[in-house]
Amino acid sequence: MPKVDTKTFYKASLQKYAQTPKGVQWNSLFSQQTRFEALVHLLPDDLSLYTLVDAGCGFGDLYTFLQTRNKLPKKYIGIDCLDFMCSIASRNTQQTIIYEDILHPKQLPVADFYICSGALNTLSKFESYLFIQNCYQHARVGVVFNALYGSKKSQTYNYFNTQDIENLQQTLQVDTVQMYEGYIDNDITLGFFKKN
């Protein structure tokens, strides 16, 4: 079970904060964009050669972020498990947005990269592993994701520690792991990459 009821949690955020970073549970625009920068740090410089799936795309803000920096991929696909988020992302990006639960998918698209920013925060540890596993299986090159990091315990949010990362790496038999940290307290960005 997720730590919170996802639909209720994000509907309440949307009603309170509208289509802002706080509407998808970021502390601020700075916090959201700093995490996006961390994701880009682990991706190839020229994304125009690659297809990219934004797993848990929310409003499609990652697409807009990439667009403003002239770093759009060859093809962008957003996926979200909330229908109202899919509608908003579709309007905001004019790209392919799929209404799908990555934890229990009927069919996920294959892409070079799966990217996830923030979607793991309210899942249980088991669900986070399953989410990343499903993304990794459908990525040709790899998965880049950020997560809350540390030994903190929370009723709402899910934190990864070093042992969790090592366990996940071993379970998925990840070939190469890249880590990026220090950009925000208690946050980490990871790249799980396959052999070329």
- Largest CA-CA distance found in the chain, in angstroms, rounded: 45
Helix (H) or strand (E) holding 149: strand 139-149
| Arithmetic mean of pLDDT, 162-176 | 92
Answer whether residue 128 shows pLDDT above 70.
Answer: yes
Rounded CA-CA distance 60/112 in Å is 19
- For helices 83-93 and 6-17, what crossing angle results, to 10°? 50
In the predicted model, is pLDDT for residue 125 greater than 60? Answer: yes
**What mean pLDDT is predicted for residues 84-99?**
94
Query: How far apart are alpha carbons 96 and 23 in whole angstroms?
Result: 22
Tell me how far apart the alpha carbons of residues 143 and 152 are, in angstroms, rounded to a whole number.
24
- The answer to whether 166 touches 177, Cβ cutoff 8 Å, is no
Task: Give long-range contacts, CB 8 A cutoff, 24+ apart: 5-12.
Answer: 6/81, 6/82, 6/122, 7/82, 9/122, 10/82, 10/85, 11/84
Confidence class of residue 99 from pLDDT cuts 50, 70 and 90? very high
Residues 6+ apart with CB under 8 A from 23: 13, 14, 16, 17, 59
What's the pLDDT score for residue 10? 56
Cβ–Cβ < 8 Å for 98, 86: yes
Which of 135, 123, 113, 134 has its CA nearest to residue 160?
A: 123
Q: What is the mean pLDDT of residues 113-139?
A: 92
Q: What pTM was estimated for this model as a whole?
A: 0.87
Can you tell me which residue has the tokens 């009603």? 15
CB 171 within 8 A of CB 25: no
Among 154, 136, 153, CA closest to 144: 136
pLDDT at 18 over 70: no
Q: How confident is the model at residue 181 (pLDDT cuts 50, 70, 90)?
A: very high
Residue 44: pLDDT band (50, 70, 90) is very high
State the chain's mean pLDDT as an integer.
87
Extents of the domains making up the chain: 47-118+128-145
For residue 76, count other CB atoms closer than 10 A to its CB.
23
Mean pLDDT (whole number) for 45-71? 95
Placement of tokens 């639960």 in the chain: 101
Mean pLDDT of 12-25: 56
CATH code of domain 47-118+128-145: 3.40.50.150
